[in-house]
A = this chain, B = another copy of it.
């Protein structure tokens, strides 16, 4: 496991939330909150990262996450370059490292890496020079740490606490980096009633998600919760014994207004997007008064600004 902290305890890389302390996560959330502005107001801008260069290195397409990181870096004054690279699988690790060494030699200061294969962000972090930071923008099914932070920030903005909250994560948990990072964040922040709600085929392995309850009925799973975190269902899952097609999945597992009514009054609904409307979530819910899905997006750019400022902080400045 690559160490994420510098010897002085400051954050150097962000690959996973798993090893971060509650204090470290809270510090990032506090810093993120300073970058949040209401819709329609100007986003904050600074020159904190002027003279620094951030590279977005994505090997699987994710336009929204790339744009979120790109705007976060630009609004702090950094130069941004975008690379979408296809690496042949046989020599992928080598090619990735050679690309990273190239970017490092071009005086890139932070690498934002998205990759469908587990281990790649850590591999890169283990090989870059001491002044370079690596941020995961999504690693296979393993981790999506800025998503975990933005989810936690969104919950805190609405509930003003973590202790005592009941949170249901619903859908394809087994393959979800979003679920894993949310679990790391919320557990560290003191959420004790965290429920995994999914059909058997989408439930993670028994030894994962320590401390979570597992519920195989959406009605039971969201009963009385404060937060419903929906996940995207991948169409390639359909056809499993437990995962029928879109309409049938919706009938059994989709979040409808009726099902949402089983949650606590004022419960919030989250989704990492992109949504399959009419599959895992009804549009009436996605666009309804309890949805905080657009807050999540807004918080995402604030979280990425905070993380960039945190890891590059002492190096930037006009």
Interface residues of A in 34-65 (CB under 8 A from B): 37, 39-40, 42-43, 45, 51-53, 55, 63-64
Interface membership of A213, Cβ < 8 A: no
- Minimum CB–CB distance for A211 against chain B, Å: 32
Which of B43, B94, B106 contacts A297, CB < 8 Å? B106
Which of B67, B98, B300 contacts A81, CB < 8 Å? B67
Interface membership of A24, Cβ < 8 A: no
Check B91 against A81 for contact (C-beta < 8 Å).
no
Interface residues of A in 139-153 (CB under 8 A from B): none
Check B298 against A131 for contact (C-beta < 8 Å).
no
Which of B52, B102, B283 contacts A273, CB < 8 Å? B102
Check B130 against A40 for contact (C-beta < 8 Å).
yes
Chain copies in the assembly? 3
Interface residues of A in 49-98 (CB under 8 A from B): 51-53, 55, 63-64, 67-68, 70-71, 74-75, 79, 81, 83-85, 91, 94-95, 98
Residues of chain A whose beta carbon lies under 8 Å from any beta carbon of chain B: 37, 39-40, 42-43, 45, 51-53, 55, 63-64, 67-68, 70-71, 74-75, 79, 81, 83-85, 91, 94-95, 98-99, 101-107, 129-131, 273-277, 283, 294-295, 297-298, 300-301
Q: A53-B71, A63-B84, A106-B300 are in contact. List 10 more A-B contacts (CB 8 A).
A: A39-B129, A40-B130, A63-B83, A63-B99, A64-B102, A71-B107, A91-B277, A95-B274, A105-B294, A107-B301
7 A-B pairs within 8 Å (CB atoms) are namely A39-B104, A40-B129, A63-B85, A67-B103, A68-B106, A71-B106, A98-B273
